[in-house]
């Protein structure tokens, strides 16, 4: 285990191997957090780990299948036990199984709910006790503009992301007096592998609907998460913060 200062905030970031999750991990490490990088495979996290450590940051790698509820609970409890604390939880991991509702199978619905909603519930529940002991906690759940405005072909994904709003606000109200905040960050179209897979035709159709006239960058989402998880954000809780270039306004 890599040494780190005892006063350094310990953060878990799920889905840390690429895109937004990788950018969040690198930013939190840059800001002095000890970041626990989580994904389904060690190989997927090696680049994130190398970048953080080469810049002098502190991190470690843990493997977890977010569809496995027991594994998610064990992950969070294990981090808290190892370090004697857990300060920050960023639930970023997510999957899509896109198709029109008429064609959507039970399995496609259940797979998305298991990773995008149930895993968030399991992780948050496990994180609350160590956060309460430390009298400090920052929970950020990554939503989506799809959960606000809906999106054709994403009934499962939009439903899961919309549910995060009510779920997270409930955490905020239950934990508000205990030094724990909970917020949702809802990105719009961000330049990642996921949006690259949409193809040029789809991206060209989307772009005119974004007032900023461009897709966002992962680092721009990471900057918002960095503030939401900071000590200075103690009075910001129960919010759904949309970062989409004005598209859903």
Catalytic residue ranges: 157
Task: Specify the 3-state DSSP secondary structure of 113.
Answer: helix
Q: Are 161 and 93 spatial neighbours (Cβ–Cβ below 8 Å)? A: no
Task: Specify the 3-state DSSP secondary structure of 176.
Answer: helix
State the Cα–Cα distance between residues 227 and 85, nearest whole angstrom: 20
Closest CA to 14 of 34, 32, 33, 39: 39
Give the tokens for residue 232: 């200075």
State the Cα–Cα distance between residues 5 and 24, nearest whole angstrom: 21
Strands 88-91 and 10-14: parallel
State the Cα–Cα distance between residues 192 and 224, nearest whole angstrom: 17
Q: Are 66 and 93 spatial neighbours (Cβ–Cβ below 8 Å)? A: yes
Strands (E), the chain: 10-14, 34-39, 58-63, 88-91, 137-142, 180-187, 240-243
Q: Are 102 and 108 spatial neighbours (Cβ–Cβ below 8 Å)? A: no
State the Cα–Cα distance between residues 51 and 185, nearest whole angstrom: 24
């Amino acid at each position: 285990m890599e040494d780190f200062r005892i006063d350094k905030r310990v953060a878990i970031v799920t889905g840390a191997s690429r895109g937004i999750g990788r950018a969040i991990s690198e930013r939190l490490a840059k800001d002095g957090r000890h970041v626990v990088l989580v994904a389904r495979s060690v190989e997927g996290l090696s680049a994130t780990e190398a970048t953080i450590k080469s810049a002098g940051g502190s991190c470690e790698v843990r493997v977890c299948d977010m569809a496995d509820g027991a594994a998610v609970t064990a992950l969070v409890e294990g981090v808290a036990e190892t370090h004697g604390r857990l300060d920050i939880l960023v639930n970023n991991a997510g999957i899509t199984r896109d198709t029109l509702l008429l064609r959507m199978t039970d399995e496609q619905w259940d797979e998305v709910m298991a990773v995008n909603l149930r895993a968030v519930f399991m992780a948050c529940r496990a994180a609350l006790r160590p956060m309460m002991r430390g009298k400090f906690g920052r929970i950020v759940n990554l939503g989506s503009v799809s959960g606000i405005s809906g999106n054709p072909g994403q009934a499962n994904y939009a439903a899961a992301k919309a549910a995060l709003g009510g779920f997270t606000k409930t955490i905020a109200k239950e934990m508000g007096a205990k030094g724990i905040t909970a917020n949702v960050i809802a990105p719009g179209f961000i330049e990642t592998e996921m949006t690259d897979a949409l193809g040029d035709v789809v991206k060209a159709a989307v772009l005119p609907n974004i007032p900023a006239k461009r897709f966002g960058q992962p680092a721009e989402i990471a900057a918002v998460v960095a503030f939401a998880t900071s000590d200075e954000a103690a009075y910001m809780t129960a919010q759904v913060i949309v970062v989409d270039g004005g598209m859903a306004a």
